[in-house]
Structure formats: structure tokens, C-alpha cells
Amino acid sequence: MCCANEERPETPVTDAAASITDIVAFVASARAGGFAAAAKRLGRSRSAVAKAVGRLEQRLGTRLMNRSTRQIALTDDGRRYFERCATLIEELEAAEADIAQRGEHHPRGVLRLAAPGAYGKDLVLPVVAEFIARNPDVQVELSLSDRSYNLAEGGYDLAIRIGLPDQLPPDLVARVIDRIPHGFYGAPVYLKDRTIPKVLGDLSNHDAIPYNTGARTRRWRMMGADGVWTPLPSRSRVSVDSADGVLKASLLGLGIAYLPTFLTKEAVVDGRLIELLPDIPCGELPIAALFQSRKHLPAKVRVFLDLFDELKPLRR
């Protein structure tokens, strides 16, 4: 016989609730490419996430992921299951966001944004300033780096990068939001005792300062009018992994640089750099915004992208 003040045991978690929790762990792991990154995003331990995926595989009677010491990879069954489940979870997240905002059209919360160093400092930060001024209920966390970003692992809402990625995970979308013209530049100290190039072929007689992207270290390339990269013959004694670094190296006379015009404008005006081959189209690099592929973008992401497009004429 129970006493009046006896505590009742907690209601056990239903099979349906447990299944949803395990599905969320599976989708997060697939998006992040590993259990540790998924655990960080979900606020759970790595072992708890791994066990959740294991339970899901046991219930379904099939392996969804192949594990290794460093990463995981979806099986064919896992890929099909992910596509269905990810869509459902996105719909649930969108519904929750809609309710949380109570029909408001202005964004709230923290926008976590990543952008390349030089482009972010010169052309993204002014948009951030206007975004904050117009939307008093938001905060922005901006990471400025030329490295590539894993949105899921880093917890970013939006990443801006120069150039379109060769491949995208199935849960990401890339949208071209800007294009930046480029050109060839050299410092007077470098060109003083050298023949100024008149055609692209003349560049092979000069030292290049290529932008070091890891896999393409010391390869000098130009974006053509058709949007295709064209390798250029050149020699190089130094390469740099940031646009600001390439600019500094060119100002020091270490060679000729292929740089965006927004970055070289002041140096050209004050004579520290000379634009080379001005009559040759040197291409425009696309600027891409990467974000989660969902039907209903969070208001903070959507409004920021709209503002970025609105202010585009001011960046010219």
C-alpha cells in the first residue's frame, strides 16, 4: 500500500522517443562526419552518440555507417536512410524556429559566421555592422580565416568562401552571393630591373607569389571568363596561405601577385603597387555562401544574406 507522499518512479522513455533520439544522433553524426563532432553539437558524450547509432542499426537490422579510427562513412543503406531522416528533422527544426520566433520577421539569437580573412575584414564586417544596427536582438560571432570550414563541426550557421567548392556534403547548399575581379600586380622595387610583362606568356619569366591552398601549393592559376581555372607557367620561391600575406609579399618585392582588386586599390593609388596586364581580362572569382539545405532558412541567416545582396553596390 502506497503512502500519500511516496514518490512515483519516473515514466520510462517510450520506444518511439528513444528511436527519435537515436535518429537525431545518427543524422548529426552523418552531417559532422564523426561521433565526437556530433556529440559536441548535441551536448552529449561521444560514447552516448555511438551507442545511439548502434541501437538504431540493431533495430533496423542493417549497418548504416562504416567506422574507422578517424572518421565514419555512410553505407548505401545509411545514405538512403539519412536522406529521408534529415529532411524530417529539418522540418521539425524549421517548425520549432517558426514557433520560437512567434511569427516575428526579424532575426534573434546568435549568428555564427565564418569568412576568409581579407574579404571578411574589408567586405563582410561592414555588412555585419549594418546587420547588428538593424536587428537589435541578434549577436554575431565572426571567424576570419582562409581555411575551409566544416559547418557542422564548427557550429556555424553560415560560411562565406572564395570560389565554389568542388564537392558539397548532401546537407549543404552553396549560393553565389558576389564576384570579385582580380588582376596581376607587382611592386616598383620588384619591377625596377625587370621587363614588364605585356602578355600572359611573359609571366613565365617572373617570380610568382601563389596563394597556397594546401593541395595546390605553388601552382599559379587564373580564373578565366568561362569560370574555369587556367594554370599559368611560372616560377616561385615563396607561397602564402592568406590573401593579406600574398599582398604583403608583393609589396616587399618578392614577385608578382594575382589578387582581388578590392585588396590592392589603396596600394595602386599610392604607387606601392603597379597593375600589370591591365587590358587582359583576369577573371572574377565567385563568392559563395554555404549553409544548411533546408526549406525554411532561419531568419538570422536569410536576413543577413538579403542584406549582403542589398549592400552589394556599396562594395564596388
> For the segment 203-220, what is each residue's pLDDT rounded down to a tens digit?
888 999 988 765 555 566
Helical H runs in the chain? Answer: 15-32, 35-42, 46-60, 76-101, 117-119, 125-134, 151-154, 188-191, 243-251, 261-269, 299-310
pLDDT tens per residue across span 13-55: 446 556 888 999 999 888 888 888 888 888 889 999 999 999 9
What is the value of pTM for the model shown? 0.60
CA distance 128 to 137: 13
pLDDT, the chain, mean: 81
> Where do the domains of the chain lie?
15-101, 109-176+286-315, 180-284
Residue 292 DSSP SS3: strand
179-196 tens-digit pLDDT: 888 899 999 999 998 999
Consecutive H or E run containing 98: helix 76-101
Task: Just give the CATH number of 109-176+286-315.
Answer: 3.40.190.10
What 3-state DSSP class applies to 141?
A: strand
Task: Give the tens place of pLDDT for each residue, 218-227.
Answer: 566 676 655 5
Report the 10 Å Cβ neighbour count for 249. 18
Query: Rounded to an integer, what distance in angstroms lies between the CA atom of residue 204 and that of residue 234?
Result: 4
Q: Which amino acid is at 108?
A: R
Q: What percent of the chain has pLDDT over 90?
A: 30
CA distance 76 to 220: 39
CATH of 180-284 given 3.30.70.20, 3.30.1600.10, 3.90.1150.10, 3.40.190.290: 3.40.190.290
Q: Residue with C-alpha cell 603597379?
A: 274
Other CB atoms within a 10 A radius of the CB of residue 83 amount to: 13
> Which tens digit of pLDDT belongs to each residue from 239-269?
888 889 999 999 999 999 999 999 999 999 9
**Cβ proximity of 312 and 178 under 8 Å:** yes
Contacts of 182 (CB under 8 A, 6+ apart): 222, 223, 258, 259, 260, 261, 282, 283, 284, 285
Interstrand relation of 138-144 and 257-260 (parallel, antiparallel or unpaired): unpaired
Instruction: Report the range out of 154-168, 225-239, 244-258 with the highest average pLDDT.
Output: 244-258
3-class state of residue 14 by DSSP: coil
Instruction: Say what the pLDDT of residue 224 is.
Output: 63
Q: Does domain 15-101 have CATH number 3.30.70.270?
A: no
The reply to whether 109-176+286-315 shares the fold of 15-101 is: no
